[in-house]
Structure 1
Amino acid sequence: MFTYADRIKPDGHSITTYLENLLAKRYQIPTFQRDVVWEKENVKKLWDSIYKFYPLGSILIWKSSTKLESHRQIGGIKFADDFHSNEYQYILDGQQRTTTLLTSIYGGKIEKKENFDPTLYIDFTVEFTEITDDTSYTKRFLFWDEIDDNNGQIKANSGKKKRHEEKLLVSLRDIIKNPVEIERNLHKNGYGDFENPYM
C-alpha cells in the first residue's frame, strides 16, 4: 500500500541509461507538451554543464496506468500509438533537455527544423581554463555547419575541418561508440598522457 509520501520520489539514472530507455521507447510524450524551442546556444550550454559536471536539473516522469493520447516524437523517434501496457511513463517536464541529449548524440530530426543536423561534436583542442570559464563552450561544442569547410570554400572552418579529419574533433556519438579508438588516436598523435587536457 502506497502513502502520499511514496507517490513522488527521485530516482537517479545516468544519462546513458536514460537515453537507452528513450531508444527502447519506454517513455511517451503527451500531446499537450509544447514543441521543441531550444536553439544551438541552449544545446551547447547544456553540454557545457555536463562537461563541467554541473547538475542538469530533474526530468519529471509521470508513471500512470492511464493511457493518454500520445503521438509526439523525440528527435524523430516515433512512439507507437498502439503501445499497450499496465503502466505508462510520460515526460511531463524536461522535454527540451531530453530532445537535446538524444539528438546531440544520435542525430535525428527536430520538428520545424528539417534541414538542421542536431548531431553535436566536441573539439578536444579547446582548452578548459577554469570552472568559471563561460565562453570556451562555443568553440568546444560544434555542429556540422560550423565544421564543414565545403571543400575549402569556407576558410573560417578549415582549421576545424582539419581537426575533424585528425580525429581531434569528434561527434559525441563516436565517443560513446568508439572510446578506445578515440583514445588510441589521441595517444598516436602524442596526446596519450592522461594529464593532457585532450584526454
Structure 2
Amino acid sequence: MFTYADRIKPDGHTITTYLENLIAKRYQIPTFQRDVVWEKENVKKLWDSIYKFYPLGSILIWKTSTQLESHRQIGGIKFADDFHSNEYQYILDGQQRTTALLTSIYGGKIEKKDNFDPTLYIDLTVELTDSTDDISYTKRFLFWDEIDDNNGQIKAN
C-alpha cells in the first residue's frame, strides 16, 4: 500500500550533481521564498564546513506536476517563461546555501546585490591550526575585493 510517507525520501546527490542540475535549470525557486539574505561571512562559513567535511544540512525539493506562475532567479540564471515539463522541482528549503554554492563557483548575480561579485577564491596554503580552528577560513576563502592585487598586477580569472 502506498502512503504519503513513502513520497518523502532523501536522495544522496553530491554537491557536483546538485550544481549540474542547477546549471541545467532543473530546480526553480518559487517567488514566495524570501530574498537572498546571506552575507559574505555566511558563504565563507559554508565553504569552511565543506572544507572540513562537515554535514551541510538538507535541501528540500518539492517535486510536483504543478507549474507555479513565476520563479526567482538562482544566481542570475533566468528560466525561460515558456519552460514546461511534466515535473517541476522547487527549492523550498536551502535557497541561501544553493545560491551561495552556485554563485561562489560559477559567479553570477544575486538579486538586489548588484555591486557584489559572489565569486569565491580559495588560498589552499592557509592551513588549519587544529580541529577546532574557527578562524583560518577568513584567510582561506576570499572574495575579490578582499584580495591584495598588487596594484592591479594580479587579475581575477
Return the TM-score normalized by structure 1: 0.74
Instruction: Give identity over the alignment, percent.
Output: 93
Distance in 2 (CA, whole Å) between partners of 1:18 and 1:135 is 28
Can you list the C-alpha shifts for 1:70-121, whole angstroms capped at 9, x where unaligned? 2310010001221111111000000000000000000000111111110001
Q: Deviation of residue 152 (structure 1)?
A: 6.5
Q: Deviation of residue 154 (structure 1)?
A: 12
| SS of alignment partner, residue 5 of structure 1 | helix
- Structure 2 vs 1, CA of residues 155 and 84 (structure 1 numbering), >3 Å: closer, same or farther? closer
Distance in 2 (CA, whole Å) between partners of 1:23 and 1:155 is 26
> Residues 62 and 92 of structure 2 are in contact (CA less than 8 Å); yes or no, is this contact kept in structure 1?
yes
Q: Which runs of 5+ in 1 are unaligned?
A: 157-199
Distance in 1 (CA, whole Å) between partners of 2:75 and 2:87 is 23
> Residues 71 and 81 of structure 1 are in contact (CA less than 8 Å); yes or no, is this contact kept in structure 2?
no
> Residues 28 and 74 of structure 2 are in contact (CA less than 8 Å); yes or no, is this contact kept in structure 1?
no
Name whichever structure is richer in helix by fraction. 1
Q: Which runs of 5+ in 2 are unaligned?
A: none
| SS of alignment partner, residue 155 of structure 1 | coil
Q: Deviation of residue 124 (structure 1)?
A: 1.4
Can you list the C-alpha shifts for 1:109-151, whole angstroms capped at 9, x where unaligned? 0111111110001111111122210010000000000114361
Q: Deviation of residue 2 (structure 1)?
A: 3.4
Return the TM-score normalized by structure 2: 0.93
Q: Deviation of residue 153 (structure 1)?
A: 11
Distance in 2 (CA, whole Å) between partners of 1:95 and 1:77 is 14
RCO comparison, higher one (Cα < 8 Å, 6+): 2
- Structure 2 vs 1, CA of residues 154 and 77 (structure 1 numbering), >3 Å: closer, same or farther? closer
Distance in 2 (CA, whole Å) between partners of 1:34 and 1:85 is 25
Which stretch shifts more, 116-125 or 142-151?
142-151
